[in-house]
Amino acid sequence: MRQDGFEESPVWNEFQWESHLNEIEKRSEQLRRFITSDPKGNTPRWISLLQESLDELDAVEAFIEEELLLDEAYFPDDEDDWEDDDEEIDDDDFFFEDSSMPFMADDYDEDEDDDFDYGEEWKELSEDFTYSDYGSIENLNIYCEARNFAVDILKWAEAIPDHLQTKQVHEFIISILKISAKLAGGYSFGFEQDVLGGNIAYTKKALYSANDALAYLQKMKREPFIVDSIYSRFHSRLFEIRNDIGIYVQEMRDRFEYGVE
């Protein structure tokens, strides 16, 4: 039994990963507050991002990148290990010899490596590899839907008069932005068995953010800045995104439990 209460296992499940990720979030909260607010704390982050960005899509992508950097801040850094390894390299270790060595001249062809890299690039363009370490998140439909919805929400929010931009409005917008950010964070873990639990745990945070956003939206239903037609459209899209994330989580759970490839 390990000190944290988990039994020794070569592969963490989603709940072990979730505990680990929650601890990271707690430890990075001070850094998050420093980065995500202006010195006086008067300007919500989504407004600052819009002011600093070229357009709404640029602002959404800036938020996603910022979230990933903040959550990554307390992951172990192995750079020192690499440096130690470099110091211990033996002269007989041919993998680290330069290209002037005889075996390199006889057996190594740089063009072969280029061909290999080129051969892998097409997988990022193919939807067949979306659920693999070779795929691209741009082919993950739920991520694209969430990101596009966030862009539309920012366009709508910009038109809300300043005096009507309540804390509830700000919380709603941040929850919407977090959906695509957490989906991206989960995807970055990959789909191999040893990290799939982390993907699931991180993706569940997108699901929680979608639920939060739905709750905030329902509370704003009677506000003067959101007419019935806009409310219905937002609610319908957000409800569908939330459900699709739930299905996506279940699909990954099946992969984890049954080793589905």
Q: Are 169 and 153 in contact (CB under 8 A)?
A: no
pLDDT at 259: 74
pLDDT at 27: 76
pLDDT at 69: 85
Question: How much is the average pLDDT of 109-136?
Answer: 60
pLDDT at 56: 96
Q: Is the pLDDT of residue 124 over 90?
A: no
Task: Please provide residue 154's backbone torsions phi and psi, each rounded to the nearest 5 degrees.
Answer: -65, -40
Q: Over the stretch 7-45, which tens digit does the pLDDT of each residue have?
A: 555 789 999 999 988 888 877 777 766 665 555 557 888
Q: Is the pLDDT of residue 153 over 90?
A: yes
pLDDT at 81: 39
Question: What whole-number distance in Å separates Cα of residue 79 and Cα of residue 73?
Answer: 14
Could you state, in order of their start, the residue ranges of all structural domains in the chain? Answer: 14-75+140-258, 77-136
How far are the Cα atoms of 3, 126, 140, 184, 192 from residue 121, in angstroms, in the given order? 43, 9, 17, 20, 19
Question: How much is the average pLDDT of 139-158?
Answer: 96
pLDDT at 134: 78
**Quick one: tokens of 66?**
């910022």
In the chain, what's the furthest Cα-to-Cα distance? Answer: 77
pLDDT at 94: 32
Q: Over the stretch 184-234, which tens digit does the pLDDT of each residue have?
A: 999 999 999 999 999 999 999 999 999 999 999 999 998 999 999 999 999
Q: Is the pLDDT of residue 144 over 90?
A: yes
| pLDDT range class, residue 121, cuts 50, 70, 90 | low
Question: What whole-number distance in Å separates Cα of residue 145 and Cα of residue 227?
Answer: 23
pLDDT at 130: 75
37 φψ region: left (φ > 0), alpha (ψ -120 to 50), beta (else): beta
pLDDT at 103: 34
* Among 207, 70, 213, CA closest to 152: 213
Task: Please provide residue 8's backbone torsions phi and psi, each rounded to the nearest 5 degrees.
Answer: -60, 130
Which of helix, strand or coil describes residue 171? Answer: helix
Question: How much is the average pLDDT of 117-121?
Answer: 55
pLDDT at 45: 87
Q: Is the pLDDT of residue 114 over 70?
A: no
The fold of the 14-75+140-258 domain, in CATH, is de novo design (two linked rop proteins) (1.20.1440)
* Among 183, 200, 138, 173, CA closest to 44: 173
Task: Please provide residue 128's backbone torsions phi and psi, each rounded to the nearest 5 degrees.
Answer: -65, -20
How high does pLDDT run on average in the chain? 79
**Quick one: tokens of 206?**
């997108």
Buried b (16+ CB within 10 A) or exposed e, 53-67: beebeebbbbbbebb
